[in-house]
Structure 1
Amino acid sequence: MRRYSSLFFLIMFLIGTDTFLVSPLLPTLSRLFDVSTAVSGWLVSAYAIGYAGFALVSGPISDQHDRKQILLYGLAGFALSTALCGLATTFWLMLLFRLLAGVCAAFVTPQVWASIPEVVEPKNIVKVMGYATAGLSIAQLVGIPIGSYLAAGSWRTPFFVIAVAAVLLMVVCLKTLPTLQSKHTSVGFWQTYKQVVSNHRAVSYLLAYFVFQTGSFTSITFISTWFTHDYGLTLTGVGTAMIAIGAGNLLGSLLSGYYAKKLTFPRTFAYSFMALVLLYIGLTFANSFVVGEIMITIVYVFNGLIFPLLMTSLQQTVKNARSTISSLANAAMYLGETVAGAIGGILFKEWGFVGIAWFAAIFIAIGAMLYWYHGAFKVADNSRKV
């Protein structure tokens, strides 16, 4: 189990780090390629667009072939496209290579979530899911600093380092992972999606996941604005505060497997939802930065704790289309993030972070009710094979 935990942690850390890699380089790239700051922001968006768009394609393809091979091809393409970013000589080439990096990443991460139930014993699935989530959490904490430090000598260095790391991970995957050939290779692309769409429980869980992520992302998107607007924090102060919040998220993801085993999966799932709803309601009464910072950090402890449970519950719904359900979950997350950005701005303008907190509490509660209605919190579910 340890080797798989470490491998999946490193893969998610690498992909997560690359996601945040460009942010500190934008001022440099803007000057280098002679584009405005607003235009340079498309280098971040291009990666997200490539990832979100091809996540819907990568899932069914992976469910019809050997997931190990798809993972290796994805890492190879990711390494190449990221290295090409370091060689880009124009803004449009950089934009293209960032788009391709996002496309290749979309073929990597679904294989992680889909492979865990196949290579890990059922009793350890949530724990390994937690380690993979921890890779993303740490990437959120150190992705921007890593990009800044590596770019101290040259802006090209971070891309080359990430590319080399991807190649090394390819070698480790080749030697560590067993063949993960699908038993349903005769099922076509659209038939794979049909398996998911016709599964009432899978569709309901995806809807609940979307609702949860919409509420959650509305909060995380405007935390920095809240700290600046209400408490007058500087950019450095906000960064320090966000490190604590990120550390809380990491702690929760590492504890997820422990509590799922100690309290049972369904109870841990239900209690995490309850805690998040109550904490967000409590945030509406926060009257100082210290209180707000402590409470939002605890929120993200539970946020980190619940994410592996969310992914595990989705993987349990359609065993023959695990990559597809993972890809759809990614699409639902990006859609939730998009909705959160649009609605959150209006809420913050009208009611400040109080409006954001109430919105998050209500949406997370609705998500919890959807999971409850479809039996996710029944203790008997704990005995279900994954």
Structure 2
Amino acid sequence: MSARGGGRGFDPRVWLLALGTFAIGTDAFVVSGILPALADDLGVGLDVAGQVVSAYALTYALGAPFLAALTARLARERVVLGALGLFVLANALCALAPSYGFLIAARVLAGVAAALYTPTAYALAASLARPERRGAALAAVALGLTASTVLGVPLGALIGHALNWHATFWMVVVLSALAAGVLAARPPRAAPDTRPAGLASRFAPLARPRVLLALLPSLIWCTGNFTSYTYLGAALAGRYAPGVVAGLFLVYGLGGLVGSQLGGRLADRFGATGPILACLCVGVANQLLLGVTGTHPVGAGAALLVWSFCGWATFAPQQSRLLAIAPNDGPVVIALNNATIYLGSALGAGLGGLLIGAGTPATGLHWATAGLLAAALAVVRAGRIG
């Protein structure tokens, strides 16, 4: 078997990289499930506790392009191992955090590690695949993120309720250490990148109005989704028992898993923009109805399934849309889109916190989400291509 997997088209060790994205995805999404307990234990309001998400996401968004440039000449397998080692340390500090300020600092460190690992893992996977199978290799790594919403987040929420929120971060430490151990035992290796990797080349597409207009919807819809998702655990905990809350997070994860796998196929068949418009239309309607559907476990499960499906199903079409607009800057615009997603996550957590601080209940944040998804829909239509 060749280094690129013979008939498979990519090195099977690409799947090992998904272990790291599983740990990172669990860490990124599980905070919603433990946020009420974290706020109570640290003696801060729910709105303030939500900034734990903002600190992590904002660090990732701002740090990823700079870190990619700084590490471009290093062996990628060493970068992913070093990043996972740093991630283990950061989450151990989160688990041991004695105060809110300490936890914020630890989340910033975790954001740095995630910003190092995830883009490098994608680049490493692409380099270990034949050109016609790079999409499949990237999907294999991305599967770790979506699988984390199905398995890691519900499990972390249950552990947090049964023990405490510190134990949830210890779970992430174990997952990260396991991923690091497996990758150290069977490291996927690729030739070093010899292309120019300066910051100027990475941010050059931002000078083009069409690229900016294409990136803007990602920022808006991620801000909208995370305005509610960050505080979803608190909203559900006010209505349902812990076991039901964990089950609803599982349903949410299943929707994302299916959406992430179907999004690319929908884009291949119907073009990039059509599936995005459809998902945003359904997403707006779903959020508007959430005040009614969310009052019963079955209705809440259906709403969360649709919410997650529509959110994750836009990921691959949006990437295809960006590649159609800037075909000569593919890796750069994809990296910028990932940074935009995390920036939207940070802004959404901050906006949700502001609304809660102003008196909006966690169960009422869906109105803001619906409005922002509608705004993203308008922007996509204005810049329609593909």
**Where does the alignment leave 5 or more consecutive residues of structure 2 unmatched?**
1-9
Q: 1:183 aligns with which of 195, 201, 225?
A: 195
> Does 1:165 find its partner at 2:178?
yes
Match of 1:11 in 2: 20
Deviation at 1:105, TM superposition (A): 1.6
Q: Is the 8 A contact 2:252 2:305 kept in 1?
A: yes
Q: 1:251 aligns with which of 247, 250, 258?
A: 258
Q: 1:300 aligns with which of 308, 321, 333?
A: 308
What are the superposed Cα offsets for residues 217-253 of structure 1, whole Å, 9 maximum, x if unpaired?
A: 3453565676678xx4445434433321221111111
**For the residues of structure 2 that align with 1:367 and 1:172, how far apart are their CA atoms?**
47
What are the superposed Cα offsets for residues 248-278 of structure 1, whole Å, 9 maximum, x if unpaired?
A: 11111133344444x15x25x4124214313
> Does 1:198 find its partner at 2:211?
no
Write the mapping of 1:101-250 to structure 2, written as runs, cut at 5 A: 101-121=110-130, 123-144=132-153, 145-146=155-156, 149=159, 155=167, 158=171, 160-171=173-184, 174=187, 176-185=188-197, 188-189=198-199, 191-221=200-230, 232-250=239-257
Q: Is the 8 A contact 1:284 1:358 kept in 2?
A: yes
Deviation at 1:139, TM superposition (A): 1.9
The verdict on how the C-alpha distance between 1:196 and 1:309 changes in structure 2, with shifts beyond 3 A counting, is same
**For the residues of structure 2 that align with 1:370 and 1:108, how far apart are their CA atoms?**
35
Deviation at 1:307, TM superposition (A): 1.6
The verdict on how the C-alpha distance between 1:322 and 1:111 changes in structure 2, with shifts beyond 3 A counting, is farther
Match of 2:274 in 1: 270
Letter in 2 for 1:211: I
Deviation at 1:311, TM superposition (A): 3.9
Q: Is the 8 A contact 2:18 2:144 kept in 1?
A: yes
**For the residues of structure 2 that align with 1:358 and 1:167, how far apart are their CA atoms?**
39
Match of 2:83 in 1: 74
Query: 219-228 vs 209-218, which deviates more?
Result: 219-228
Deviation at 1:10, TM superposition (A): 1.7
Give the structure-2-normalised TM-score. Answer: 0.72
Deviation at 1:13, TM superposition (A): 0.5
* Amino-acid identity (%): 19
The verdict on how the C-alpha distance between 1:130 and 1:280 changes in structure 2, with shifts beyond 3 A counting, is farther
Deviation at 1:68, TM superposition (A): 4.3
The verdict on how the C-alpha distance between 1:306 and 1:46 changes in structure 2, with shifts beyond 3 A counting, is closer
Aligned pairs, number: 361
The verdict on how the C-alpha distance between 1:146 and 1:226 changes in structure 2, with shifts beyond 3 A counting, is closer
**For the residues of structure 1 that align with 2:97 and 2:369, how far apart are their CA atoms?**
44
**Where does the alignment leave 5 or more consecutive residues of structure 1 unmatched?**
378-386
Q: Is the 8 A contact 2:16 2:183 kept in 1?
A: no
> Does 1:355 find its partner at 2:363?
no
**For the residues of structure 2 that align with 1:133 and 1:51, how far apart are their CA atoms?**
17
**For the residues of structure 1 that align with 2:283 and 2:317, how far apart are their CA atoms?**
19
Query: Tell me, what secondary structure is at the counterpart of 1:248?
Result: helix
User: What is the root-mean-square deviation of aligned Cα atoms in Å?
Assistant: 4.4
Q: Is the 8 A contact 1:70 1:108 kept in 2?
A: yes
Letter in 2 for 1:277: C
Q: 2:43 aligns with which of 36, 39, 44?
A: 36
Deviation at 1:285, TM superposition (A): 5.1
Q: Is the 8 A contact 1:246 1:300 kept in 2?
A: yes
Q: Is the 8 A contact 1:76 1:167 kept in 2?
A: yes
